[in-house]
Amino acid sequence: MLKKTLLIFLIFLLHFSCKSSKVSTNENIANLSSKRIINNHYADNLENKDIKARLTINYKGKTDLPELKGSLRIVKDSAIWISISKLGFPVGKLLVTPSRVRFYEKINKTFFDGDYSIISMLLGTDFDFYKVQNLFIGQALLNLKDQKYSSKIQQKKYLLIPKKKNPIFDMLFWIDPINFKIINEEFRFNDNKILKISYNNYTKINDLSFPGGFIIDAIGENRSTEINVNYKTVEQGSNLKIPFVIPENYKKLKLK
């Protein structure tokens, strides 16, 4: 079960119940251009700050899995490390860097060590480290500066819609008019699958707006999957250690 959880969590991280983010109650939200909204979105970012946090992970799908707890460390543009535990016992670790994806789990004594190519092949589009980093910190999964958007105000949020249609999926981004962080982003694929990412309860960590957690919803024709990540504590760190050594005699896991 743990191996399944780690695999599902990893794939959803690379692919892209809960309270919604607090937004303005002011009816007169400024009618900003899409360029101004996007610039404001990227004004609040990690810069050279590192993050460490404690979190919980819940999975609901064809089979619901028990809650897992984890420790997260993000070294800006360099590494994302998660140590996962169950009932207080460490059961696995995940390390994502710009060039590699690695994890191991102790129950079945298996590990994975590879690049992003197999995940990109499975999901039909390119994925990289920075999309994973964006997911954890509440930035748009895709780089909003790569294309032009139209903007409008919808339900007291800014809604960004690409002016040019993507050949693989349609995408929508809802942005908080106060802190300009992502509230929801949605990807509607040509095969009728939908991926939704929702953030909740942004708070200030020093001068950085950081989400209280996020939910990933994947909806297909015959099934739906939800991964709910909640941060219990978040703080800025420095010189964070990233302990990761795959134990000897573990069997390499091949994702096909």
pLDDT in tens, 17-29: 333 334 444 467 8
pLDDT in tens, 199-213: 988 998 887 889 999
Reported as a pLDDT band with limits 50, 70 and 90, residue 4 is low
Q: Is the pLDDT of residue 138 over 50?
A: yes
User: Would 111 be classed as within a structural domain?
Assistant: yes
Domain count, the chain: 1
User: Would 21 be classed as within a structural domain?
Assistant: no
Provide CB contacts within 8 A for 177, sequence distance 6+: 23, 24, 29, 30, 153, 156, 157, 158
User: Would 237 be classed as within a structural domain?
Assistant: yes
User: Would 190 be classed as within a structural domain?
Assistant: yes
Average pLDDT of span 6-35: 58
Looking from the CA of 208 toward its CB, the CA atoms found within 13 Å total: 18
| CATH classification of the domain holding 121 | 2.50.20.10
User: Would 167 be classed as within a structural domain?
Assistant: yes
User: Would 159 be classed as within a structural domain?
Assistant: yes
pLDDT in tens, 56-104: 999 888 777 788 999 999 999 999 999 999 888 889 999 999 999 898 9
User: Would 23 be classed as within a structural domain?
Assistant: no
Q: What pTM value is reported for the model?
A: 0.81
Q: Is the pLDDT of residue 15 over 50?
A: no
Q: Tell me the backbone φ, ψ of residue 200, rounded to 5 degrees.
A: -140, 150
Domain that holds residue 183: 2-16+29-251
User: Would 180 be classed as within a structural domain?
Assistant: yes
